[in-house]
Amino acid sequence: MAGCYSESWTMKDLTDSLKNMHKDNKIIVVPMFQRGKRWKEEQENTFIDSLKKGYPVGTMLFYKRVENNKEVYTLVDGLQRGNTIKKYMTNPTKYFSSASIPIEISDEVFETLNLQGSERIIKEKIKQSIVEAVHKFQNVDDIETYDVAKSIITSIATTNSNILDSIIDIVKPFLKKYRESYEEISKSTIPVIVYSGDEDSLPLIFDRINSQGTPLTQYEVYAASWPLDKKFEISNDKIIEKILKKYDSLADDEYSIHGYDREELRLSKTISPFEYLFGLGKHLNDDYKFLHFEKNQEDDEINTIAFELVNACINDGREGIKTLYNEILSIDVRLFEERLIEAVEFVEKVIKPVTKFKGNTREGSSLLYSKFQILSMISCTFREKYELSNMAVTRKTWSSNKQILKKNMLQHFVYDVITNEWSNGGTNKIYSAAKPNKYMKEIPKAAWESSLSGWFEEENMRNEKTKVQGTKNADIVILNCIYLSTFTALDQLSVENFDIEHIAPKDQMKDIIESCKGEGLPISSVANLCYLPEYVNRSKKKKNFYQDTKYLKKINLLEVENKYSFTTKEDLEWMDMPYKTGDYEQLREFYMEFLKKRFNIQKEKFYDSLRIQ
């Protein structure tokens, strides 16, 4: 019969048990379904302040059992509070701040030193010197009053050495009170509910407790509610390493994790469905650059990509993800993973001509597409190539459909970026795209005309005068497609970098618009953009191709016109006219005609590159 009873734990007992150092052999362990440490510094400081002021800080939930004459308490709920208490009790001076110092201390020190200057600044400096001195000690009992007083005198740079005893007399009572306050906190208690019953119910209890609030993501709920005892063996060491890092992030902080044996897990490679998707998500994110949607994640944070992708390959709707573990347990996971990676690499290769185009290879470049767009392409490829019930062989239709998919998938990829198709509702669209496989269907040229013209007209509604908008993802994708037909393999392999440049330079355009006192023009329109070798772009600065005589001597103008700008000198003659107030409409007419003419050239090259007829 399950039951609960209450206990009161002191902060010291709680800390000692978490560190497996309790005098009565009590130990607190963290269950494997627990999420990692999530509190930020501000949350920790607020919690410690509540402890100091004696505010209620909530109840912790333990599950108790006895192992080898030790009382083992599983921390079901309260990891964030327990972790903060342990950190505070281990190094309390870290949480000492200027707010901990009564204003009377700085007032009395200021008067004793009899200083000249800004009273507010000097008092703040006094407080800061006390904080810095206290931080040098890890334990409150080690704090030396002399060192704190000396720190104050040194920071103020007073030459009066006889004042030291007076400063010691001021800070000594305060430091004594600070030590007593710490002792009071260490002896203070936090309420604990101890549960006794079926241990298999712990994940469900954890889920129910946390689902009433907001801290848990749906994937952290899966960590709690999916079975931990139903496991299978995998062969991918990279996935195992990601799982180990998750648990190590807690173990490194001296926590004991119930059921976790690092060496056994590493050697046996036997894991649960949740652990598998956790590790697979980290692996895909880190090892495939085009899937690097999550940056700077902690080792214990869940990357959702594997949950979403695997469900899209296996199920027909997002609801299936709740019980996805059943399907994972019923299939050959090794074979499935092999086939999934095939689909990943197929899609990577299909879109590579656009995403890895020479002009988009610099470090720090952002992804041009959304996560759900790519997951849709991968899952549709998987479904087109394999039946889940027979992944040992490809579908009979794959040989003929593969070439169709290659061509159409690249077109859909580009089309969806231009039309911003995946800006919302991504999770649902993944499944609708697969029924039927939208990437097997060619996009009509009329749809291309509509989307490209729509993008062009939308950009031409801008009135840019002093600030010019940055290049959009759709602009980059359009340019990358255009230059596929003009850049050679040698260009792509060269070490030279390429810049996206304004043909009518934006700084010169700003000057001309100001001369006319105009409202502004769409300077950042895609029709005014081109790729240029880096040295060309940097050398000519605000002048256009035909205005900088030094630049003309360095490059082959005919090559620039044919390969990069698709212009002639006559196309930019309007920039050399002496514009003055009142000439704005004339300027606008010239510029818009230039954009229209060049965009028509861009479209033809775009269609040629993507084989759109």
How high is the mean pLDDT of the chain? 86
Q: Is the pLDDT of residue 361 over 50?
A: no
Question: Which comes out higher in pLDDT, residue 539 or 265?
Answer: 265
pLDDT digits (tens, 9 = 90+) for 414-440: 999 999 999 876 778 899 888 899 999
What number of residues does the chain have? 613
Supply 222's token pair. 């899966």
pLDDT at 236: 96
Q: Which of the listed ranges 105-109, 197-201, 525-529 does the model predict with the highest average pLDDT? A: 525-529
What is the share, in percent, of the chain residues with pLDDT greater than 70? Answer: 88
Nearest Cα neighbor of 385 from 417, 346, 328 is 346
pLDDT digits (tens, 9 = 90+) for 443-468: 999 999 999 999 999 999 999 999 99
- Spatial strand order of the sheet with 189-196 comes to 3-10, 189-196, 60-67, 70-77, 26-31, 256-258
The count of other CB atoms within 10 Å of the CB of residue 471 is 14
State whether the Cα torsion 525-531-534-535 is positive or negative. Answer: negative
From 149-153, 210-214, 283-287, 422-426, the region with the lowest mean pLDDT: 210-214
> To the nearest 5 percent, what fractions of the chain are helix, strand and coil?
60, 10, 30
The count of other CB atoms within 10 Å of the CB of residue 42 is 8
| Banded model confidence at residue 233, pLDDT cuts 50, 70, 90 | very high
Under DSSP, the state recorded for 563 is I
pLDDT at 295: 86
Residue with tokens 């009590």: 26
pLDDT at 376: 96
The β-bridge relationship of strands 232-233 and 270-271 is: antiparallel
Question: Which comes out higher in pLDDT, residue 325 or 253?
Answer: 325
Query: Average pLDDT in the 163-186 region?
Result: 88
Q: Is the pLDDT of residue 363 over 70?
A: no
Question: Which comes out higher in pLDDT, residue 60 or 514?
Answer: 514
Supply 30's token pair. 């963290």
d(CA 238, CA 279): 8
Q: Which of the listed ranges 11-15, 60-64, 172-176, 284-288 does the model predict with the highest average pLDDT? A: 284-288
pLDDT at 496: 64
User: Which residues lie closer than 8 Å to 287 by C-beta, 6 or more apart?
Assistant: 238
Q: Which strand (E) or helix (H) includes residue 480?
A: helix 473-482
pLDDT at 364: 46
User: Do the beta carbons of residue 605 and residue 566 sit within 8 Å?
Assistant: yes
Query: Average pLDDT in the 162-185 region?
Result: 87
pLDDT digits (tens, 9 = 90+) for 524-567: 999 999 988 776 555 667 888 888 777 777 778 888 889 889 99
Under DSSP, the state recorded for 363 is T
Q: Is the pLDDT of residue 523 over 70?
A: yes
d(CA 203, CA 223): 8
pLDDT at 444: 95
Phi, psi of 63 (to 5 degrees): -115, 125
What is the share, in percent, of the chain residues with pLDDT greater than 90? Answer: 43
pLDDT at 224: 64
| Long-range CB contact pairs, 316-319, < 8 A, 24+ | 316/431, 316/434, 316/435, 317/431, 318/427, 318/428, 318/430, 318/431
The count of other CB atoms within 10 Å of the CB of residue 8 is 10
The β-bridge relationship of strands 70-77 and 26-31 is: parallel
CB-based burial of residue 276 (10 Å sphere; 0-12 exposed, 13-18 middle, 19+ buried)? buried
Residue with tokens 């062989």: 393
Residue type, 212: Q
pLDDT digits (tens, 9 = 90+) for 68-106: 878 888 887 788 888 888 888 888 888 888 888 888 888
Question: Which comes out higher in pLDDT, residue 49 or 512?
Answer: 512
Query: Average pLDDT in the 307-328 region?
Result: 91
Residue with tokens 């990891």: 79
The count of other CB atoms within 10 Å of the CB of residue 6 is 9
Query: Average pLDDT in the 234-247 region?
Result: 94
The count of other CB atoms within 10 Å of the CB of residue 574 is 17
Supply 444's token pair. 């009509």
> CA 192 from chain center: how many Å?
36
Q: Which strand (E) or helix (H) includes residue 30?
A: strand 26-31
Q: Is the pLDDT of residue 395 over 80?
A: yes
Residue with tokens 């993973």: 337
pLDDT at 215: 47
Q: Which strand (E) or helix (H) includes residue 529?
A: strand 529-533
Supply 323's token pair. 């019980």
